[in-house]
Amino acid sequence: MKIDNVAYRSVWVDPQDGWTVRIFDQTRLPWSIDVLRLSTADEVAHAIRTMQVRGAPLIGAVAAYGLALALREDASDTAMEREAAMLAETRPTAINLRWAIGRMLARLRGVAPHSRVQAAYDEAAAICDEDVAQNEAIGRNGLSLLSEIAARRGNRVDVLTHCNAGWIATVDWGTALAPIYMAHDQGIDVHVWVDETRPRNQGALLTAWELGRHGVPHTVIADNAGGHLMQHGKVDAVIVGTDRVTRQGDVANKIGTYLKALAAHDNGVPFWVALPSTTIDWTIGDGVREIEIEERNADEVGAITGPLVGPGDVDREGEVRTIRLVPPGSRAANPAFDVTPARLVSGLITERGVCAASEAGLLSLFPERRQTAA
Ligand SMILES: CSC[C@@H](O)[C@@H](O)C(=O)COP(=O)(O)O
């Protein structure tokens, strides 16, 4: 995607030095576009934990480069296994992280230590290229669904999305936002209701920023507004991304997604989930019981960060500050994801096509997984 007419991915190797890894600091967006340089596996782990990089596919891709950085310092078997385990544990819910580390190890275990660094960079680059191709295919498959609605509605589609599943959450394109970008580029009058997505506001900050830069009409809403809009016929479809889909089609995504699925179900609004196959966890069935939900620091609920606005503070307008929301002494809790049961999901939009959120649906697109799932 482009920033000031320059095409960027969300992660890349610095072309000047040929080895450090560059990312946008997503804790600073949209107020400031800061590019970070990561040169050790520990720096990568820190970037993932603090959500300087976030979004399921992107943290997998960045972690893969993290392992390449680790191998530059020590390419022995012991160091490789240790650093891989450390990177895989930086966040628990998104399965792409463990998938990417698993793929790197599968490739590198058979490579002699002196050849591992180059092999690791090559494999991480392949993961990135494949993610871009998968998201582009997801965009095309989701576009068919949006085109059908537009054909019925005089070229208009209103989509609601939650959190950020755009290009900044993947290597490029995004999952949930890829069909929206393509619909907009094709001249469909697409408008997006953007859930702010408390507590970290990935919708209000990142999705709104992405859509705005691409010229896609959008409106940021409080997280609680979606049900009301659906009751009044203002939402044609909900499309969200996901951090993990079980083989039976249960969907883990940013906290609050489940409530949107319930409201969509009650109002007959299609609820679609967009994902690359790297987000499917074939080893588990019941997402509510089996997916580990990340519990983040309660301070993310108890405070909010943003630039000061006038008129009270004209001199300091624009200065980014953190403001306390919760009185001292009140406890806060911060489960970061929830699980939407498959029965509430209208369809899964993957790189291979759209399927029912069920084991049979997923296996119809990924028949090679039949044995794993059995
Ligand atoms: C294509 S990203 C899909 C999901 O990863 C996204 O919706 C989400 O929940 C991200 O959570 P985050 O905590 O911001 O990493």
Mean pLDDT of 51-56: 98
Same domain, 255 and 364: yes
26 close to ligand 1 (CB < 6 Angstrom): no
Active-site hit among 158, 236, 243, 281 = 243
pLDDT one-digit tens code per residue, 316-345? 777 888 999 999 999 999 999 999 999 999
Asked if the structure places residue 324 within a domain, the reply is no
Asked if the structure places residue 53 within a domain, the reply is yes
Residue whose token pair is 């004209």: 314
Asked if the structure places residue 117 within a domain, the reply is yes
Q: Residue 11 in 3-state DSSP? A: strand
d(CA 25, CA 20): 15
The average confidence (pLDDT) of the chain is: 96
Whether the ω angle into residue 311 lies within 30 degrees of 0, i.e. cis, is: yes
> Among candidates 154, 182, 173, which has minimal Cα distance to 1?
173
**Which residues define the annotated binding site?**
54-56, 91, 202, 253-254
Q: Which residues have a Cβ under 8 Å from the Cβ of 6 and sit 6 or more positions away?
A: none
Count of domains for the chain: 2
Range of the domain at 32: 2-130
d(CA 119, CA 113): 10
pLDDT at residue 35, rounded to an integer: 97
pLDDT one-digit tens code per residue, 228-264? 999 999 999 999 999 999 999 999 999 999 999 999 9
Q: How confident is the model at residue 314 (pLDDT cuts 50, 70, 90)?
A: low
d(CA 229, CA 192): 12
Same domain, 7 and 64: yes
Is this complex scored with an ipTM above 0.85? yes
pLDDT at residue 307, rounded to an integer: 85
Contact assessment for residue 307 and residue 171, using Cβ atoms and an 8 Å cutoff: no
d(CA 170, CA 176): 11
Q: pLDDT over 70 for what percent of the chain?
A: 98
Q: What CATH number has the domain bearing residue 113?
A: 1.20.120.420
Mean pLDDT of 80-109: 98
Residue whose Cα lies nearest atom 10 of ligand 1: it is 55
pLDDT at residue 309, rounded to an integer: 81
Which has the minimum average pLDDT: 135-139, 302-306, 357-361?
302-306
Residue 130 CA to ligand 1 center (angstroms) comes to 19
Residue that finishes a domain, picked among 130, 162, 193: 130
d(CA 347, CA 355): 6
pLDDT at residue 319, rounded to an integer: 83
What are 350's strand-pairing partners?
353
241 close to ligand 1 (CB < 6 Angstrom): yes
Q: What CATH number has the domain bearing residue 265?
A: 3.40.50.10470
Mean pLDDT of 174-182: 98
Mean pLDDT of 127-136: 98
Same domain, 236 and 362: yes
Q: Strands across the sheet with 11-13, in order?
A: 11-13, 21-24, 35-38
Q: Which residues have a Cβ under 8 Å from the Cβ of 115 and sit 6 or more positions away?
A: none
56 close to ligand 1 (CB < 6 Angstrom): yes
Is pLDDT of 313 > 90? no
